[in-house]
């Protein structure tokens, strides 16, 4: 009887999750601004192209903003809010402080959109559009972004501290965090593939270079030549804020080399390498597939970005359309 109840409960929760995703997909659509702001995608893309001229890593930084936003209360631009009398900013949560970047570029996108179609495009949708533009401009796939999100009226710093996957966590913990927001193992591996471009600070992986899991030795899964290179970039007593390429082969291009790097024990973050080096993990075969078939990776990445963008959006009369992404209207 107990197993029957558990099975029934699981089935009901699965149906509920599917319904929530279907409802959010029904509420969001790719033509949401077709009449109110028809040039929204090109405006976002133009601002990003300008930013890329002086900052080649900005595209990866903008995808990270979208990711870190969606994992906390859904894709509602809560991450963009500054501290105020009523708000503890998610920017100051451990996964974000001195780490997330690109807020000024989002502000520039918002300014351009307010000049063209004031009060229409949400900051949450700007993050989704910027992520797509970042991928396609770096040589990756393009897709029709589902739109119609509205912006939150508050932030959740405590949620940001607990919900966002960490580069120090085990694969099982990270999988649990993806499951908690309705994303599966294929989503986990595909979205991790965003680490095919961008940079990471030494403090996020230096323990792997010198004192992995308190052993006093480097992480044994690290390729020895790659280890030497990383130790030069990140000396043991140096600044933890030096940066290394997440993909040492094609650092600014969006391709499937990230997965080949994992096969060669060249995953920069512990959470990257564990996708391939965790014995018996379901992620290993997915890494192998994406490494050998870039088209398969691109197709999965697009679907997983859409899945992530569908996490608990505010729609209809919920939330608001902020005129300034950093603060709630009227504050």
Say which of 45, 66, 68, 91 is annotated catalytic.
68
Classify residue 283 as exposed, middle or buried by CB count within 10 Å of its CB (0-12, 13-18, 19+).
buried
CA–CA gap between residue 156 and residue 142 (Å, rounded)? 31
Q: Does 78 count as an annotated binding residue?
A: yes
Q: Does 250 count as an annotated binding residue?
A: yes
Q: Does 195 count as an annotated binding residue?
A: yes
Q: Does 76 count as an annotated binding residue?
A: yes
Q: Does 102 count as an annotated binding residue?
A: no
- Residue 319's region, left for phi above 0, alpha for psi from -120 to 50, else beta, is left
Q: Using an 8 Å Cβ cutoff, are 175 and 165 in contact?
A: no
Q: Does 69 count as an annotated binding residue?
A: yes
Q: Please choose, from the candidates 271, 276, 304, the residue with its C-alpha nearest in 3D space to the C-alpha of residue 289.
A: 276
CA–CA gap between residue 250 and residue 326 (Å, rounded)? 34
Q: Is 68 a catalytic residue?
A: yes
CB within 8 Å of 310: residues ≥ 6 apart? 21, 24, 25, 28, 75, 146
Q: Does 240 count as an annotated binding residue?
A: no
DSSP string, 253-272: S-SSHHHHHHHTT--SSHHH
Q: Does 312 count as an annotated binding residue?
A: no
Q: Does 165 count as an annotated binding residue?
A: yes
Q: Using an 8 Å Cβ cutoff, are 322 and 316 in contact?
A: no
CB within 8 Å of 15: residues ≥ 6 apart? none
- Strand, helix or coil at 37? coil
CA–CA gap between residue 208 and residue 180 (Å, rounded)? 28
Sign of the four-CA dihedral 174, 179, 185, 189: negative
Per the listing, tokens 């992530």 go with 308
CA–CA gap between residue 274 and residue 283 (Å, rounded)? 9
- Beta strands 243-245 and 199-201: pairing type? antiparallel
Q: Does 219 count as an annotated binding residue?
A: no
Element (H, E) at 201: strand 199-201
Q: Using an 8 Å Cβ cutoff, are 240 and 201 in contact?
A: yes
Residues placed in the known binding site for substrate = 165
Q: Which residues are catalytic?
A: 68
Residues placed in the known binding site for heme b = 195
Residues placed in the known binding site for Ca(2+) = 69, 72, 74, 76, 78, 90, 196, 247, 250, 255
Residues placed in the known binding site = 69, 72, 74, 76, 78, 90, 165, 195-196, 247, 250, 255
């Amino acid at each position: 009887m107990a197993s029957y109840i558990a099975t029934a409960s699981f089935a009901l929760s699965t149906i509920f999750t599917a319904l929530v995703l279907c409802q959010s997909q029904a509420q969001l659509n790719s033509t949401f601004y077709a009449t109110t702001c028809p040039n929204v995608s090109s405006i976002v893309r133009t601002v990003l192209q300008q930013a890329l001229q002086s900052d080649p890593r900005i595209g990866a930084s903008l995808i990270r903003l979208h990711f870190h936003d969606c994992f906390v209360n859904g894709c509602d631009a809560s991450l963009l809010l500054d501290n105020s009398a009523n708000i503890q900013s998610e920017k100051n949560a451990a996964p974000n402080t001195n780490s997330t970047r690109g807020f000024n570029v989002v502000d520039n996108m918002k300014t351009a959109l307010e000049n063209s179609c004031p009060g229409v495009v949400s900051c949450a949708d700007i993050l989704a559009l910027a992520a797509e533009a970042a991928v396609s401009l770096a040589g990756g796939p393009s897709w029709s972004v589902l739109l119609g999100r509205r912006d939150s009226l508050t932030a959740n710093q405590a949620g940001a501290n607990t919900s966002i996957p960490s580069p120090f966590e085990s694969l099982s913990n990270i999988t649990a965090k993806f499951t908690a927001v309705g994303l599966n193992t294929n989503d986990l591996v595909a979205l991790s593939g965003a680490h095919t471009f961008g940079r990471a600070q030494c403090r996020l992986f230096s323990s792997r270079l010198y004192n992995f899991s308190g052993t006093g030795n480097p992480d044994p899964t690290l390729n020895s030549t790659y280890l030497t290179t990383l130790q030069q970039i990140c000396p043991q007593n140096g600044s933890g804020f030096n940066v290394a390429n997440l993909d040492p082969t094609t650092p600014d291009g969006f391709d499937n080399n990230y997965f080949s790097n994992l096969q060669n024990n060249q995953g920069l973050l512990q959470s990257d390498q564990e996708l391939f080096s965790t014995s018996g993990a379901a992620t290993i075969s997915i890494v192998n597939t994406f490494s050998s078939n870039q088209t398969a990776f691109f197709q999965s990445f697009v679907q997983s970005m859409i899945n992530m963008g569908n996490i608990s959006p505010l729609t209809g009369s919920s939330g608001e359309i902020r005129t300034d992404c950093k603060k709630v209207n009227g504050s």
